Structure 1
Amino acid sequence: MIMNIQPLLNYISSYVSLTPEEEAFLISKVSYRKYLKGQYIVQQGDVCKYECFVISGCTKTFHVDDHGQEHIVMFSIENWWTSDMGSFITQTPADYNIQCIDNTELIMFSYDIIEELYSEIPKLERFFRQIIERALVASQRRIVRSFSLSAKDRYLYFRNQYPKIEQLIPQYMVASYLGITKEFLSKIKSQILTEK
C-alpha cells in the first residue's frame, strides 16, 4: 500500500528539521492504515497500541459511562493527532474509544517504534514532547471553559475555533462534546440566528 507521508513530514518540519536520512528512517518505521467510517481505532478497555497522525478523515474520542451515555472529549481531523494518550504511555487499558466518523487514513506509531525513533533521532523526542505539551494545554483550557462559560459561549467558542469540524460531524456529536443535549443545542443555534 502506498503511504502518503508528506503531510506528516510537513507537519514535523514546522517543529524540527530532519535530514533526508532521518526522514528515510522515519518512513521505514511507521505504519499506514485506512479505516472505514464507523471502525474503531481503539476501544475502551483495550490497550491503545498507536499514536496516530490523521492524513484524511475525522475521528471522535469518547467515553461510555455505566449508563451507556457517550461523552465526546475530542475530534481529530487532517493534520491532527489521535490516541488515548494515558493508555498509550502507560500501556494499560484505555478509558476512551476512538472511532472514525468518516473514512480515515492514518499514519501510526507503535509504542516500541516511538521509543526507537527517540533513540535514533533525538530531535523527534523534542517534537513529540512539544505535541504532548500543546495537547495538555488545550485539555486544561477546555476544562476551564467547561465550568466557566455558558453552554451558548462554549458553542460559539467551538464554532469559531473549529469551523471545519462542525461541518463534518452531526449535531448530536457537537452537543455531546459540549456536554448538552442536541435539543438544547438547537435552541442555542436558533437564539444565535434571531440575534443576527
Structure 2
Amino acid sequence: MEYDLLLEHITQHIQLTQEETAYFTALLTYKEVKRKQFLLQEGDVNRYACFVTDGCLRSYSIDKNGFEHVLQFAPPGWWIGDMKSFIAQEPATLYIDAIDDSTVLLLLKSDLDKLYQQVPKFEHFFRVLAEKSLATYQHRLINNLSLSARERYENFCQLYPSLIQCLPQKQIAAYIGVTPEFLSKMLSQTPPKK
C-alpha cells in the first residue's frame, strides 16, 4: 500500500488510532513524478508537504551564472519542499525535480492546518521534523564553511549511503559545492574513508 512507508515513519514519533489514520490518509494525494519532471519551480508557491515513497527527488537553486546548488536529496522515506514558500505561501526560491521516476504523497498546506486542529498530535510530529531539519541544515552550513571538499564528500556518503552509487557525480558535486571535474579528480587521487 502506498501509505505504509509514511505511516511507519509517523509511528516512530506518534501513535495514531484507526480513525486518525483514516482521516490523515484521506487528506493525502498520490502522485507519480517522471524523471526530470518538476514538482516545484522557482516562482511557484509550494502548496504541498511532500513525502517520497519511491525514487528520488532533489531541491536546488540556480545562481546567476547558471550553476546548480543542491540543498537536499530525498530518497524514499524523506520529506522535501521549499519550507519558506510552504510556510508563508509565497513564491519559491527553489526547484524540486525527480532524479528518477518517483512516487510521492502530497499534503496540501490548508489540509495540514486542518490536521493540526483535528489531530493535535500531528503538531508534535511535524515540530520534531522541523527541529531535526533545522539542526541538520545548521550542521551542514557549518560543515560547508569549515570542512574540506573531501570531508564534505564523506559527510554526504554518511547521510545518503543509498545514493552514492546511483547519483551522477555532477549531482554529488553540486551538493558538496565543487565542480564535477574537481570531484572526479579528488576521488581518483585518494579513495574515501569507509
TM-score bucket of the superposed structures, by smaller chain = over 0.9
Residue in 2 aligned with 1:82? Answer: 80
- Distance in 1 between the 2:166 and 2:193 partners? 25
Contact 2:61 2:70 in 1 (8 A): yes
- Distance in 2 between the 1:123 and 1:191 partners? 50
TM alignment of 1:1-196, pairs within 5 A: 4-193=2-191
TM-superposed deviation, 1:122: 0.1
Count of equivalent residues: 194
Q: Which has the higher helix share?
A: 1
Superposition CA RMSD, Å: 1.5
- Distance in 2 between the 1:195 and 1:80 partners? 26
TM-superposed deviation, 1:163: 1.4
- Distance in 2 between the 1:48 and 1:151 partners? 32
Unmatched runs of 5 consecutive residues or more in structure 1: none
- Distance in 2 between the 1:193 and 1:13 partners? 39
Normalized against structure 2, the TM-score is what? 0.96
TM-superposed deviation, 1:67: 1.9
Q: Deviations over 1:10-69 (max 9, x none)?
A: 110000000011001111111110110010010011111111010001011000112222
- Distance in 2 between the 1:49 and 1:169 partners? 28
Normalized against structure 1, the TM-score is what? 0.95
- Distance in 1 between the 2:105 and 2:166 partners? 21
Share of identical aligned residues, percent?
Answer: 39
Name the aligned partner's letter for residue 50 of structure 1.
Answer: Y
TM-superposed deviation, 1:194: 9.6
Name the aligned partner's letter for residue 67 of structure 2.
Answer: Q
